[in-house]
């Protein structure tokens, strides 16, 4: 299952690499722009889809690359991209959650799902 999820990170890495190359920035320079700094090897792993990226790191990468986070995230779902059920299966396996908890988490993570309105 993890292999299918990694397709997203490969596409993300390609976008990060393209943005870095556009600025004529080295992997080492990009790594040093992060807090805490990352190594050149870590940036190479991100660009090759071998290392997942934490949300706060995505924000820092976007700033360092003078772009918006949404420009780095793949705009089209790559072939083999995980479905919601793939994500649920991986969460179940890794977090050992019961079905109702999984559905609640999956629903909250689904950008197409209607969101509850809160009172102001």
Task: Give the percent of the chain with pLDDT over 90.
Answer: 52
DSSP characters over 26-91: -HHHHHHTSSS---HHHHHHHHTT-S---HHHHHHHHHHTTS-HHHHS-SS--TTPPPHHHHHHHH
Domains of the chain: 2-72 (1.10.260.40), 82-112 (no CATH)
Q: Tell me: pLDDT of 108 over 80.
A: no
Q: Which residue has the higher pLDDT, 120 or 39?
A: 39
Residues 59 and 83: their CA atoms lie apart, in Å, by 25
Q: What is the mean pLDDT of the chain?
A: 81
Confidence grade of residue 96 (pLDDT, cut at 50, 70, 90)? confident
Q: Tell me: pLDDT of 110 over 80.
A: no
Confidence grade of residue 113 (pLDDT, cut at 50, 70, 90)? low
Confidence grade of residue 97 (pLDDT, cut at 50, 70, 90)? confident
Encoded tokens for 84: 């919601």
């Amino acid at each position: 299952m993890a292999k299918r999820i990694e397709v997203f990170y490969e596409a993300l890495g390609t976008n990060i690499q393209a943005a870095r190359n556009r600025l004529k920035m080295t992997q080492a320079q990009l790594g040093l722009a992060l807090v805490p700094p990352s190594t050149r090897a870590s940036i190479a792993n991100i660009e090759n889809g071998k290392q997942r990226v934490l949300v706060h790191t995505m924000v820092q990468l976007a700033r360092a690359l003078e772009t918006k986070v949404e420009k780095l995230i793949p705009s089209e779902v790559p072939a083999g991209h995980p479905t919601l059920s793939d994500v649920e299966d991986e969460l179940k396996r890794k977090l050992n959650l019961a079905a109702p908890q999984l559905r609640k988490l999956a629903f909250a993570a689904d950008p197409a799902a209607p969101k509850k309105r809160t009172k102001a």
